[in-house]
């Protein structure tokens, strides 16, 4: 056999050998995991996690954690197979996020999990890199010009796109996935505010965005890394470029390409006198050349902060309103039930205390970010007496904290917005952020909190004044919690199908 005919056969043999080697390596990782973890921890928590038996009694992992934490005298439990301490104790949260902040960074392990997607963005770094980006973001997000620019975009998007889409669905009696509608709305809005560019995802034709789809896939697959019982599993798959890691690599490649195109477009349009956040970050560098990788990480961080969190909160809000029509009616009465579907003014929104309470009560039960992890740099003891070894993961869970009777009382499971109101006028009074860490707290408290609340408030008021939302099928209507998809932010499995009904013609 000559070389020309022998080459394909040799290539096939090499391919088979490589595949066999890959399978053996993955098998070895699994064996090492079992040898390392299983025999050394036979507690019911670890066995339930590894076998998935918790799912027999609980809809979501967060519900299982909430159950364990309610039963714990300290509000803290250990999941040994993950090397993780999980807490819903406000004193512990304050200790990690404020009192001993420097000892509880994001950590290299967390950065590795999300590094391929978030890079050196503000949500994935510690130390000087974090302080620099936070200072820049704080200056921009606190700017009156930026806030005014952002609210103008939000109001225009509601008036020109969101309301017409819902009105068309009402007029044709069509079933729409309201979660998808809100995600499109939030994506268009954050792209305009952050980059000065309009992807047009909420146009009547509902066009698909390659960036949005790739971003969805990337966040979902990164979350799967964090849920793995050992980093050996996903690291082996990444090395071999197989399975979920190959899918993640392809998704991130597309995110990178589209982010680069967005940055090129922004440079072409110029940054002078532009109020979008990307332009302001670029302009703040003055004559210095801003690294495209740095800008890419900013783009991805803005998308993560401004899109999925807002759409998640709006989806669960209307789930709750569909089961509590009296709350929707009270929101209409407060906003001024004049039949208008247009966005109200910013000043009017600020005075809507009951609506503000409804939003906070919704996020108490369904926080967009259900878990947040830190790593203990040096061995420490939490205020509840829990010992944490150096290098161990510590996770607090806002989802479970919203379901703790020791924090919210015996009616913790009830949707009761008036728990946030006090005084004769029913003024909104916030809870301590360490008891309600939906927007984090301490030195890492969310800088976009006020902008996000304003956006959600404007959407909620515009929709409830014009429409009634009727849930189709079982989604969001039963006694059980909605089932959430694994991801960095909470999204409802199967979407949120609804029918829209006009309140008046």
What local confidence, expressed as pLDDT, does residue 474 receive?
61
254 or 231: whose pLDDT is higher?
254
Looking at residue 269, its pLDDT comes to 80
Of 22-31, 138-147, 198-207, 286-295, the one with minimum mean pLDDT is 22-31
Q: What is the pLDDT of residues 356-408, one digit of tens each?
A: 999 999 999 999 999 999 999 999 999 999 999 999 999 999 999 999 999 99
Side-chain-side CA neighbours of 4 within 13 Å: the count stands at: 0
Contact 439, 468 (CB under 8 A): no
Q: What is the dihedral of CA 242, 243, 245, 247, to 10 degrees?
A: 110
- What is the model's pTM? 0.87
Rounded to an integer, the average pLDDT of 452-458 is 95
pLDDT of residue 210: 85
End-to-end CA distance of the chain: 82
pLDDT digit string, tens, across residues 60-97: 999 999 999 999 999 999 999 888 999 999 999 999 99
Find, among 58, 33, 53, the residue nearest to 43 by Cα: 53
Task: Please tell me the predicted confidence (pLDDT) of residue 3.
Answer: 45
What is the bridge-based pairing of β-strands 467-471 and 380-381?
A: unpaired
**When comparing pLDDT for 504 and 251, which is higher?**
251
Separation between Cα atoms, residue 467 and residue 310, nearest integer Å: 20
Residue predicted with more confidence, 129 or 14: 129
Residue 13 confidence (pLDDT): 64
Opening angle at CA 175, ends 172 and 181, nearest 5: 105
Residue 337 has pLDDT above 80, yes or no: no
pLDDT at 37: 44
- ∠ CA 105-111-113, nearest 5°, is 130
pLDDT (tens digit, 9 = 90+) per residue, 110-122? 788 888 888 888 8
Greater pLDDT, 5 or 28? 28
Mean pLDDT over 40-68 rounds to 90
CB neighbours of 412 closer than 8 A, spacing ≥ 6? 402, 403, 404, 405
- pLDDT attached to residue 177: 96
Q: Higher-confidence residue: 214 or 22? A: 214
pLDDT of residue 197 exceeding 80, the answer is yes
The more confident residue out of 306 and 329 is 329
The confidence score (pLDDT) of residue 396 equals 97
Per-residue pLDDT band at 106 (split at 50, 70, 90): confident
Predicted pLDDT of residue 18: 63
Residue 327 has pLDDT above 70, yes or no: yes
The dihedral formed by the CA atoms of 226, 138, 400 and 81, expressed in degrees to the nearest 10: 20
Q: Is the pLDDT of residue 40 over 90?
A: no
pLDDT at 486 over 80: no
Give yes or no for residue 232 having a pLDDT over 90: no
Q: Is it the case that residue 442 has pLDDT exceeding 90? A: yes
Reported confidence tier of residue 478, pLDDT bands at 50, 70, 90: very low
Query: Mind listing the pLDDT tens digit for each residue in 418-428?
Result: 999 997 778 99
Examine the pLDDT at 264 and tell me if it is beyond 80. yes
Range in 185-199, 201-215, 307-321, 391-405 with the lowest mean pLDDT: 201-215
pLDDT of residue 5: 47
The mean of the pLDDT values for the chain is: 86
What would the mean pLDDT of 221-231 be, rounded to a whole number?
79
Residue 39 has a pLDDT of: 40
Query: If you average pLDDT over residues 409-426, what whole number do you get?
Result: 92
Q: What is the structure's pLDDT at 287?
A: 54
In whole angstroms, what is the distance from residue 127 CA to residue 107 CA?
A: 10
């Amino acid at each position: 056999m000559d070389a020309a005919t022998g080459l394909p056969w040799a290539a096939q043999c090499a391919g088979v050998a490589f595949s066999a080697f890959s399978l053996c390596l993955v098998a070895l990782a699994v064996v090492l995991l079992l040898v390392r973890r299983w025999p050394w921890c036979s507690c019911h928590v670890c066995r339930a996690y590894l076998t998935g038996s918790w799912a027999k009694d609980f809809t979501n992992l967060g519900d299982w954690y909430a159950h364990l934490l309610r039963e714990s005298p300290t509000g803290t439990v250990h999941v040994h197979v993950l090397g993780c301490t999980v807490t819903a104790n406000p004193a512990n949260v304050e200790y990690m996020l404020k009192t001993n902040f420097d000892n509880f960074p994001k950590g290299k392990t967390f950065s590795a999990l999300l590094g391929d997607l978030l890079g050196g963005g503000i949500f994935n770094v510690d130390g000087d890199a974090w302080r620099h980006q936070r200072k820049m973001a704080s200056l921009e997000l606190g700017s009156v010009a930026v806030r005014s620019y952002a609210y103008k975009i939000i109001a225009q998007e509601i008036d020109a796109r969101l309301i017409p889409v819902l009105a068309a669905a009402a007029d044709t009696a069509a079933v729409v996935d309201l979660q998808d509608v809100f995600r499109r709305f939030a994506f268009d809005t954050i792209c305009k505010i952050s980059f000065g560019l309009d992807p047009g995802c909420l146009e009547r034709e509902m066009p698909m965005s390659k960036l949005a789809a790739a971003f969805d896939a990337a966040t979902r697959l990164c979350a799967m890394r964090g849920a793995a019982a050992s980093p050996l599993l996903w690291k082996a798959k990444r090395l071999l470029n197989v399975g979920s890691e190959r899918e993640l690599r392809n998704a991130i490649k597309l995110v990178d390409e589209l982010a680069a195109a967005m940055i090129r477009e922004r440079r072409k349009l110029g940054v002078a006198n532009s109020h979008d956040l990307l332009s302001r970050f670029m302009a703040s560098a003055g004559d210095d050349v801003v690294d495209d990788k740095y800008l890419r990480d900013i783009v991805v961080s803005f998308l993560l902060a401004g899109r999925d969190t807002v759409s998640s909160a709006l989806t669960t809000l209307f789930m709750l309103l569909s089961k509590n029509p009296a709350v929707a009616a009270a929101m209409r009465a407060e906003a001024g039930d004049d039949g208008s579907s247009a966005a109200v003014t910013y000043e009017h929104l600020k005075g809507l205390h009951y609506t503000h309470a409804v939003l906070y009560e919704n996020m108490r039960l369904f926080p967009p970010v259900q878990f947040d992890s830190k790593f203990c740099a040096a061995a420490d003891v939490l205020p509840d007496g829990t010992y944490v070894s150096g290098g161990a993961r510590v996770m607090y869970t806002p989802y479970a904290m919203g379901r703790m009777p020791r924090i919210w009382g015996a009616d913790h499971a009830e949707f009761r917005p008036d728990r946030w109101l006090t005084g004769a006028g029913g003024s909104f009074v916030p809870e301590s952020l360490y008891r309600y860490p939906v927007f984090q707290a301490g030195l890492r408290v969310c800088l976009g909190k006020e902008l996000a609340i304003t956006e959600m408030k404007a959407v909620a008021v515009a929709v409830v004044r014009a429409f009634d939302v009727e849930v189709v099928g079982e989604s969001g209507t039963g006694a059980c919690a909605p089932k959430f998809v694994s991801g960095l932010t909470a999204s409802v499995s199967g979407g949120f199908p609804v029918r829209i009904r006009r309140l008046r013609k």
